[in-house]
């Protein structure tokens, strides 16, 4: 694309947006033409000054004033750049105008959403337009769902071609969820009926590949001896993303099944986890209690560098097919903030600079970027490896 910019970071003045900006300041190639965008120029200038202390070249970054309610400004923003990456959520409330602008302009788009309703709604409204314009619309470019999507993709690559495959992912993490993730989860609980309608509409319109079967493993709470923990089915957006990658890519075989779990050390903790989620779901259904829940975490705030340095994640994958079995592992640092900012930034740089598959429309990270993004993340310190059984 012949645009004046390679990428624009929208939401640079938020906490995760600021971390993403810092990562770009330190790791984007010097030739990358990028800019900061947000609704408050004074705050943008403060971010720019902070970045200039890390990299003096950032003193010359372009600053773009735009907000989600200004369609003309977003249209101009999308037309000026090859890629837009955005940290402005909850996306079901604030995300659609930017997706619309990018789909119309043929501009690649990456975000941090983990909201299934938003993902499905954007597919219904903009997938076909983006496919025609050449835009790659790539949601879930943070901890939701890159470690799981690319982890399953990496696992499949270790297994034979052309045979039915089964993969299960087991998640462990030590860290703090971001305020944006928390707010998105509470809003998602409150909007379950809306999501059910949108998901039904997508299922009715989406065509899965002929002659191939994509589905889930039979899932339930169980003790997984190989891990020494209990595992609980984890109904996040992640397994949906993995299955959509499988549907898009023949490498996943004629039949592919995936199961997604969170690891819990003690049986008592399983009950506490299920009970806690049930309580949050119930409280989210009523306006006053939902507002009380949302007030517990403030967007734009997050843990300090010392706390983030102590955080970690690990996702173990068990794959089998064609008489072979493999165990792989994806691991990294702070999932809620540091590694999420890294994953989003590397996704944007990948979309801007790398040679990628000739696909457009709403795509998963595996389908949109695949090996190129996997290599970038490995170079950036996120481990993808085969481990002994």
Same domain, 347 and 313: no
Q: What is the pLDDT of residues 233-291, one digit of tens each?
A: 988 899 999 999 999 999 999 999 999 999 998 888 877 877 887 887 788 888 888 88
Q: What is the pLDDT of residues 108-118, one digit of tens each?
A: 999 999 999 99
Compute the distance between CA of residue 288 and CA of residue 320 in angstroms, rounded to an integer: 48
Angle in degrees, 0-180, between the axes of helices 116-133 and 96-105, rounded to the nearest 10: 20
Q: Are strands 229-233 and 165-174 parallel, antiparallel or unpaired?
A: unpaired
| Top-confidence residue, 16 or 219 | 16
Compute the distance between CA of residue 25 and CA of residue 52 in angstroms, rounded to an integer: 8
Same domain, 42 and 129: yes
- Residue 297 domain-assigned (yes or no): yes
* Residues of the domain holding 192: 146-335
Q: What is the pLDDT of residues 160-194, one digit of tens each?
A: 999 999 999 999 998 776 677 777 778 778 888 88
Assess contact for 110 and 345: CB atoms under 8 A.
Answer: no
Same domain, 163 and 294: yes
Count the domains in the chain.
2
Same domain, 297 and 285: yes
- Residue 384 domain-assigned (yes or no): no
Compute the distance between CA of residue 101 and CA of residue 196 in angstroms, rounded to an integer: 26
CATH of residue 83: 3.40.50.720
- Residue 281 domain-assigned (yes or no): yes
Q: What is the pLDDT of residues 365-387, one digit of tens each?
A: 999 999 999 999 999 999 999 99
- Residue 389 domain-assigned (yes or no): no
Compute the distance between CA of residue 91 and CA of residue 89 in angstroms, rounded to an integer: 4
Write down the pLDDT at residue 68: 93
Same domain, 43 and 91: yes
- Residue 381 domain-assigned (yes or no): no
Same domain, 278 and 351: no
Q: The pTM is what?
A: 0.93
Compute the distance between CA of residue 24 and CA of residue 270 in angstroms, rounded to an integer: 39
Write down the pLDDT at residue 121: 97
Question: Closest Cα partner for 3 from 105, 98, 143?
Answer: 105
Same domain, 182 and 257: yes
Compute the distance between CA of residue 324 and CA of residue 336 in angstroms, rounded to an integer: 34
């Amino acid at each position: 694309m012949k645009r004046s910019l390679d990428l624009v970071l929208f939401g640079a003045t938020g906490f995760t947006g600021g971390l993403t900006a810092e990562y770009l300041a330190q790791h984007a190639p010097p030739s990358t033409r990028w800019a900061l965008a947000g609704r408050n120029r004074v705050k943008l200038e403060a971010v720019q000054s902070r970045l200039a202390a890390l990299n003096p070249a950032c003193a010359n970054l372009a600053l773009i004033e735009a907000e989600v309610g200004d369609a003309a400004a977003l249209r101009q923003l999308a037309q000026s750049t090859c890629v837009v990456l955005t940290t402005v959520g909850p996306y079901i409330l604030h995300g659609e105008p930017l997706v619309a602008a990018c789909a119309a302009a043929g501009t690649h788009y990456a975000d941090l959403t983990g909201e299934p309703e938003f993902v499905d709604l954007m597919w219904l409204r903009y997938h076909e337009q983006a496919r025609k314009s050449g835009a790659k619309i790539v949601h879930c470019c943070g901890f939701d769902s890159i470690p799981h999507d690319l982890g399953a993709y990496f696992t499949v690559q270790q297994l034979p071609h052309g045979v039915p495959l089964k993969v299960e992912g087991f998640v462990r993490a030590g860290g703090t969820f971001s305020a944006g993730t928390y707010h998105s989860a509470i809003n998602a609980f409150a909007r379950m009926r809306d999501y059910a309608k949108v998901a039904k509409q997508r299922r009715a319109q989406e065509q899965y590949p002929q002659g191939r079967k994509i589905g889930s493993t039979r899932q339930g709470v169980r003790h997984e001896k190989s891990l020494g923990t209990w595992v609980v089915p984890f109904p996040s957006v992640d397994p949906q993303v993995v299955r959509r990658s499988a549907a898009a890519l023949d490498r996943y075989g004629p039949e592919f099944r995936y199961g997604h779990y969170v690891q819990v050390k003690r049986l008592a903790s399983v009950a506490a986890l299920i009970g806690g989620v049930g309580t949050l779901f119930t409280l989210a259904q009523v306006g006053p209690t939902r507002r009380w829940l949302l007030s517990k975490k403030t967007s734009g705030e997050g843990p300090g560098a010392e706390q983030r340095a102590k955080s970690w994640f690990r996702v173990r994958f068990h794959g089998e097919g064609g008489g072979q079995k493999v165990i792989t592992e994806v691991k990294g640092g702070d999932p809620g903030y540091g590694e999420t900012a890294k994953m989003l930034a590397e996704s944007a740089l990948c979309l801007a600079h790398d040679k990628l598959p000739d696909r457009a429309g709403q795509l998963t990270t595996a389908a949109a970027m695949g090996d190129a993004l996997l290599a970038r993340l490995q170079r950036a310190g996120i481990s993808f490896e085969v481990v002994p059984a």
